[in-house]
Amino acid sequence: MSWSERQQAMLEAMGLRVWTAPPVPEPEPEPEPTAPEPVLAKVEAPAPVRVASVLPQIVVPVQPAEQPRAPAAAGAVAAMDWTQLREAVAGCRACGLCEGRKHTVFGVGHERAHWMVVGEAPGEQEDLQGEPFVGQAGKLLDSMLRAIGLTRADGPPEKQVFIANTLKCRPPRNRNPEPEELAQCEPYLNRQIALVQPRIILAMGRFAVQSLLRSSEPIGRLRGRVHEYQGVPLIVTYHPAYLLRNLVDKARAWEDLCLAMDVLQRKT
Ligand code: URA
């Protein structure tokens, strides 16, 4: 079977490429025999078959071209709705982290949550499941939230938090985020906060603080007071993964949660 040019164009648009056997060269003419004709009856050799004429045309899938990397355009991201933002994150190729990820980790929770929690970056479990804070640190975060009557599961906006990270893709071997990766991912977090319009933000750990407050001061120096991100009160506290290794600071993290509750009660 052979395909017309139009059919071929349609197949290619569907990701299929028409493979046609290359033309087989005409066989070389037999050299003139120099020896005298044998006396025996001559046996006719079968006529050579042109392979190309009997091979069917085969349709083979086209390998998708490698997607180019492109920076996230902050201006475009700032105008996105939830659906567009989710799609943009899912297809993001703005930095090298896209090469090694299994899933992007967008965030979970109420789209108009009163509380927004901002962590650092997905780890192994988060990368596998596509949800933030599902490993050991996540279990501690869930307990901390439960202690103040909050949850990541279904609930009204005053109870169900929204949890997001500064990075949406896992850094290899859980290394620290690079400044360039934070910069590329920042428009997504900014837009999430703008859409949620939280009444209070809990910034957990130094990378959340660096992104949202532009501060590299240690957590110990920033916690215990009220900061602001775009007019929203922001409380700095320790990252749950740090608290797993430094149990003595759990009491301080508890104070931070109490401070956040106070601020919110005073606002409402
Ligand atoms: N640590 C984070 O900061 N975020 C996650 O999603 C998991 C671990």
- Check pocket membership of 241 for ligand 1, CB cut-off 6 A: yes
Atom of ligand 1 nearest to the CA of 208: 3
Residue 4 pLDDT class (50, 70, 90 cuts): low
Complete edge-to-edge strand list for the sheet that includes strand 162-165: 108-109, 162-165, 115-119, 200-204, 232-237, 226-229
7 in a domain, yes or no? no
- Check pocket membership of 133 for ligand 1, CB cut-off 6 A: yes
Ligand 1 geometric centre to CA of 240 (Å): 8
Tens digits of per-residue pLDDT, 33-64?
Answer: 444 444 444 445 545 445 444 444 555 445 55
Q: What is residue 54's predicted lDDT score, i.e. its pLDDT? A: 42
Q: How far is the C-alpha of 169 from the C-alpha of 159, rounded, in Å? A: 27
- Check pocket membership of 106 for ligand 1, CB cut-off 6 A: no
Other beta carbons less than 10 A from residue 258's beta carbon: 13
The pTM score is 0.76
**3 state SS of 115:** strand
Q: How many domains does the chain have?
A: 1
49 in a domain, yes or no? no
53 in a domain, yes or no? no
Q: Which structural domain range is residue 210 located in?
A: 74-267
Q: Which residues pair with 119 in a beta bridge?
A: 165
Taking the CA atoms of 122, 127, 130 and 135 in sequence, report the sign of the dihedral they define. Answer: negative
Could you tell me the CATH number of the domain that includes residue 229? 3.40.470.10
Ligand 1 geometric centre to CA of 119 (Å): 6
Q: What is residue 186's predicted lDDT score, i.e. its pLDDT? A: 97
191 in a domain, yes or no? yes
Tens digits of per-residue pLDDT, 103-125?
Answer: 999 999 999 999 999 999 999 99
- Check pocket membership of 119 for ligand 1, CB cut-off 6 A: yes
- Check pocket membership of 126 for ligand 1, CB cut-off 6 A: yes
65 in a domain, yes or no? no
225 in a domain, yes or no? yes
- Check pocket membership of 169 for ligand 1, CB cut-off 6 A: no
36 in a domain, yes or no? no
186 in a domain, yes or no? yes
Tens digits of per-residue pLDDT, 139-191?
Answer: 999 999 999 999 999 999 999 999 999 999 999 999 999 999 999 999 999 99
Ligand 1 geometric centre to CA of 263 (Å): 25
Helices (H), 5-100: 5-13, 51-54, 74-77, 82-90
Q: How far is the C-alpha of 143 from the C-alpha of 135, rounded, in Å? A: 13
Mean pLDDT of 134-138: 97
Q: Give long-range contacts, CB 8 A cutoff, 24+ apart: 6-9.
A: none
